[in-house]
Amino acid sequence: MRIIKLFLISTIMISSTLFAQTLNDAIKLTTNEQFQSADDAFKKLIQMGPSNGEYYFYYGENFFKNENMEMATKLYQKGTDVNATNPLCYVGLGKVQWYQGKQADAKANFFKATTLAAGKDAVVLMKIAEAYINADTKNLTDAFTLLAQAAKLDAKNPEVYILTGDAFLEQNDGTKAIENYEKAAGLDPKSVKATLRQGQLYNRSRNYPLALDFYKKASLIDSTFAPAYREKAEIYFRAVQPKAAAAQYKRYLDLNNDCIARGRYAGFLNQAKMYQESVAAALEALKCDPNNPYLYRYLAYDYFQLKDYPNGLTNCNTFFTKISPDKIIAQDYENRAKLNSQMGNDSLAIIDYKRIMEQDTTRTEYLGDIANAYKKTKRYKEAIEYYTKKIKTGKANANDYNGIGLSYYYSKDFVNADSSFAQVVKQQPDLYVGYLWRAKSNVQLDPKNEKWLAKSIFETFITKVKPEETEKNKSYLIEAYNYLAAYYASLKDCPNTKLYMQKVLELDPNNAQAKKVIAGLKC
């Protein structure tokens, strides 16, 4: 009987160790950002222990850390359903509520968790503190209190000091943060997390060489620790070394070759402005995750930069159908507006630009974009209205003055057109555009050439046109030469009249009027 009892005890111990190791392995996959592999591991764990609330909590953490609050909440709730006395899932529910701004509900769940733990579970205290530290709405006072309590319960747990370091970092106290990270590393020299945190601290303080040293050290401790390669990629990206950055992220992808990682890789390539490579990565990721809205966002941005506007707009529209409205950012509306503008859909572009400004009235940079779209659709009154608003912000540039000038010109308000183009000349004195349209405006202000207002302006325009710009400005140059020939003809200055008519023929050898004028000259 004693032998059977010993066998049963031995079996239970082996089984317990196996489950603990398996759970730790699954948690490590989450820490390593191998979310899809972790998903498979947690599913197997739950099959073996369907009433184990701890499994559901860490499975929920896998989704939470991958920014899927909905699935995380479902798993935390399931954990409380199958194991109502396990405190961790109440921490999970409270954490989601805290991130959502439901602080009273969150604290109720945190209180329930600490009550069930009866002050004896350091992990419960640490997980609550982690929520207070990492959420947008901080509660660092309570976080420090909870971590101090956790340290008394489990003084040799490096995670306590990593979180304490995180809390100090949120207070911008780098000295105390590094002290705690070093203490964590001292307790566990193989803690890649503690080493990574030290690198992130130096990264935050823009000491990139030292940050890189710690990331490299983390890779030496555990060559399979994927976040270290991602962080190294970010460093190289900031150092404007896109190829080195992409190589590090490729290493990250080799370790995390799941669908989620492929999607993140596409996003990184987009940020690194490697647009063609980002397209390829996003299309590959779509094969296994066709409903991931962010992949369509990357493709929309990529194709815009590559000037493939039809594909850009198609993917942008797909993104808007798949994304949750609360996840849409101003840049998404801007990108769709620009794509629609390139495709000739300026009225749709205006809607998106206005939508951005309705949400944030400080985004005055879009006033010029709205005005440009109105100008393109020949709605000059509205264009003038929005250019004027942009000018009143004090942030107008030469393009804005040129835009309002053209809008006034085509509205036949030549006085305001001339004033606007004068501002273009003031801001861009070496470019021909302002002079050209000032001259054309002055022609209209002096229709009978009584004062020859455009003469000197046309002369300056001619000098500003560079040789390589001659062909595209041929018609404008001919207009200027004809005007100047007419001016000299009015003075009976035959040589100069002939000179400018010959310049017309140099640009247009078959110009009948120039030939006729020259034939009639006697000089």
**Residue 64 pLDDT:** 95
Token duo for residue 171: 């207070």
Whether residue 235 is predicted with pLDDT greater than 80 in this model: the reply is yes
Contacts for 140-143: CB closer than 8 Å, 24+ residues apart: 140/167, 140/170, 140/171, 143/167
Q: What is the mean pLDDT of residues 195-202?
A: 94
Token duo for residue 36: 């899809």
At 451-499, the pLDDT tens digits run: 999 999 999 999 999 999 999 999 999 999 999 999 999 999 999 999 9
- Sorted by sequence, the CB contacts under 8 Å of residue 354 that are 6+ apart come out as 370
At 496-513, the pLDDT tens digits run: 999 999 999 999 999 999
> CB–CB of 164/144 below 8 Å?
yes
Whether residue 320 is predicted with pLDDT greater than 90 in this model: the reply is yes
At 395-427, the pLDDT tens digits run: 999 999 999 999 999 999 999 999 999 999 999
At 325-350, the pLDDT tens digits run: 989 999 999 999 999 999 999 999 99
**Residue 106 pLDDT:** 97
**Residue 17 pLDDT:** 37
Structure-token match 């990270």, residue found: 181
Q: How confident is the model at residue 21 (pLDDT cuts 50, 70, 90)?
A: low
At 77-111, the pLDDT tens digits run: 999 999 999 999 999 999 999 999 999 999 999 99
Token duo for residue 158: 């490096």
Whether residue 1 is predicted with pLDDT greater than 60 in this model: the reply is no
End-to-end CA distance of the chain: 134
Q: How far apart are CA 77 and CA 376, in angstroms?
A: 54
At 250-277, the pLDDT tens digits run: 898 888 777 877 888 898 889 888 899 9
Per cent of the chain over pLDDT 90 is: 82
Q: How far apart are CA 57 and CA 116, in angstroms?
A: 15
Whether residue 7 is predicted with pLDDT greater than 70 in this model: the reply is no
Average pLDDT, the chain: 92
CA dihedral 214, 201, 245, 239 (to 10 degrees): -110
- pTM of the full predicted structure? 0.62
